[in-house]
Structure 1
Amino acid sequence: MASVFFTLLLLYATGVSGVPQLEPLNVTVLRGSEARFNISLSEAWYSMSWMLKTVLVLTINSGTGVSEHNRRFAVKNYSSADIYCWEFIIRDVWRNDSGDVSCGVQEKPTQTAQLFVQESGTVRIVGGNITVAQGHQAIVQCEASGWFPKPTVSWVVDGVMVNQNSYNSSSEALDSLYNSISLLTVRGVNSVQVKCLASVSALTTPLSSSIYLVVDHCFTRAPRLDCAHRCRLFHRWLRSAGATHPWNRLLLQTQKRSKIQLPKGNGENEVPDRDEWWCSGTETGQGKPCIRDRWPNNRCHPQ
């Protein structure tokens, strides 16, 4: 209502010519909402018609009033003693309503505006919350489905908007609606909220989906403990089986000649560098970091 009165005041202040003034000239709305247009003129009139694309949907006669051709269309009269102003309303707009909206007043030039109807779909982050080892990376996938036109997908991590160069997005059209996928790579430094946003211009507030990226500071040690445990079990089995079996004797001799040590590595499922392990609680009492002797003793000493 306030915008209509502001328009009337502006037109009155600047002076309205005999040519009708149609505003706004471009309207973008979401499917299922209302689209509104205003026609204003300063001279008396007796006949007004509104058309959606090529279809006559409503007429107004100054003597007999409004003739509705479809209940989806309506008008409101905001005229005063100095200016004539009517608001044209399209209810429950559809995608196929997009196009020209025209108003004709008697023999005066027809005024035309454009209506654009968009659709808001859904957005979700696939898989829910993610746990990642500190310093490692996680890939977060967001899906935006059933949008028109192609939605704008963006990311917010810990309340900060992510630069567009930090994620990859792609879209495809299916049955005139767009589906988009966006992949974001996040490095696990601290536990943070990760939010995916999807929007089109008609949406005042983007739709969003969020998860939590949980950084587990002990996560990297668990696979190493498992690996160490498997090595200990194998070595104990080797000793319990005795050195009489040819394969066991060969293995022990090979160890002795080449001084085989525990393998090195720095991956999540590899043995840590040097001989540093997280020993089991039965060995240190607390599961603290320790230095393990090289084979064959395989003893554990707290650091």
Structure 2
Amino acid sequence: MERFQKFILLPFILAASLTGLGFCYSILNGPTNATVLAGSEARFNCTVENGWAILIWLLNTNPVLTVINSQGPIETSERFTSHSYNNSQSFTSELIIHNTQLNDSGKIECSIQKLDGSSFAFLSVQVNGSLLIKNSTLIVKENTTVEIVCEALGWAPAPDIMWMTNDSLIDKSRYVTQQSQGSNDLHNALSVLTMTPTNTEILTCLADIEALPNPQNASIAVIVGNSTLGK
């Protein structure tokens, strides 16, 4: 019975000892979600109370950078570096992921190697592909219905497509957009706008994903004339 009681008390004694050695620290602010374009940087901050011993950054459960209180960061890859910021009460580690790739998307975790000592966020890496309208100018006969094709290739995720005419949005009922799976986890989109122009119009196709500060665009001038084909 005495032996059993010692076994039960051991975890409590160990926990008390660790607390006495300075293990009573926690994560004050963990990383936050980020969405970036492939090839750019992604940055994550993790702030812990003073008294910490070791901080590990993980990407999709794989350790990518370790910070030791007594030594500083241990960087094993040029793609994963860090900055640190100290004050009287806390320490902040900033993980910097350079030249982000599509397969970097996933869970970013900050761990201080203790019970309830981790915090996580998610990284979304997106790819800005190409956008093309085949012709820059199209000359059509009056009262002729034409189809204008806009092609987006090599995006991640598939972009949202919109059309504008002379700086005004075109109703979605006037165009049809189809998405398809490309290679290397990339996506394509094909949007077809049907119209019967009565005057010269500048048509613009816009493709947008969250990481883009502004949508990518491609334009065509549709001119009502006597010929059916332009350059």
Shorter-normalised TM-score: what interval? 0.7 to 0.9
Q: Is there any run of 5+ residues in structure 1 with no aligned partner, and where?
A: 1-16, 221-303
Residue 35 (1) aligns with residue 42 (2)? yes
Counterpart residue type for residue 223 of structure 2: V
User: Which of the numbers 139, 146, 157 marks the counterpart of 1:131?
Assistant: 139
Task: Give the share of equivalent positions with the same residue, in percent.
Answer: 31
Over 4 Å off, 4+ runs: none
Residue 3 of structure 2 corresponds to which residue in structure 1? none
Q: How does 1:130-169 map to 2 (within 5 A)?
A: 130-169=138-177
Between Structure 1 and Structure 2, the one with more helix by share is 1
Partner Cα distance (1:62, 1:94) in 2: 30
Q: Deviations over 1:239-267 (max 9, x none)?
A: xxxxxxxxxxxxxxxxxxxxxxxxxxxxx
Partner Cα distance (1:18, 1:31) in 2: 33
Residue 47 of structure 1 corresponds to which residue in structure 2? 54
Q: Deviations over 1:50-70 (max 9, x none)?
A: 111122111111111111121
Residue 120 of structure 1 corresponds to which residue in structure 2? 128
Residue 103 of structure 1 corresponds to which residue in structure 2? 110
1:134 CA displacement: 2.8
Change (3 A) 1:77 1:19: closer
Q: Is the 8 A contact 2:27 2:46 kept in 1?
A: no
Partner Cα distance (1:79, 1:134) in 2: 70
- TM value normalised by structure 2: 0.81
Counterpart residue type for residue 155 of structure 2: W
Q: Is the 8 A contact 1:191 1:212 kept in 2?
A: yes
Counterpart residue type for residue 109 of structure 2: S
User: Which of the numbers 61, 64, 70 marks the counterpart of 1:57?
Assistant: 64
Q: Is the 8 A contact 1:77 1:85 kept in 2?
A: yes
1:165 aligned counterpart, secondary structure: helix
Q: Is the 8 A contact 1:98 1:115 kept in 2?
A: yes
Q: Is the 8 A contact 1:20 1:111 kept in 2?
A: no
Q: How well do the aligned residues superpose, as a CA RMSD in angstroms? A: 1.9
Q: Deviations over 1:99-127 (max 9, x none)?
A: 11111114252111111111111001123
Partner Cα distance (1:136, 1:54) in 2: 59
Q: Is there any run of 5+ residues in structure 2 with no aligned partner, and where?
A: 1-24
Partner Cα distance (1:104, 1:23) in 2: 11
Q: How does 1:172-191 map to 2 (within 5 A)?
A: 172-175=180-183, 176-191=185-200
Q: How does 1:1-303 map to 2 (within 5 A)?
A: 18-24=26-32, 26-108=33-115, 109-175=117-183, 176-216=185-225, 219=226
Between Structure 1 and Structure 2, the one with more strand by share is 2
Q: Is the 8 A contact 2:31 2:120 kept in 1?
A: no
The number of residues matched between the two structures is 202
- TM value normalised by structure 1: 0.63
Partner Cα distance (2:54, 2:168) in 1: 56
Counterpart residue type for residue 92 of structure 2: C
Residue 9 of structure 2 corresponds to which residue in structure 1? none
1:186 CA displacement: 2.2
Q: Deviations over 1:198-249 (max 9, x none)?
A: 1211111111111101112xx39xxxxxxxxxxxxxxxxxxxxxxxxxxxxx
1:155 CA displacement: 0.7
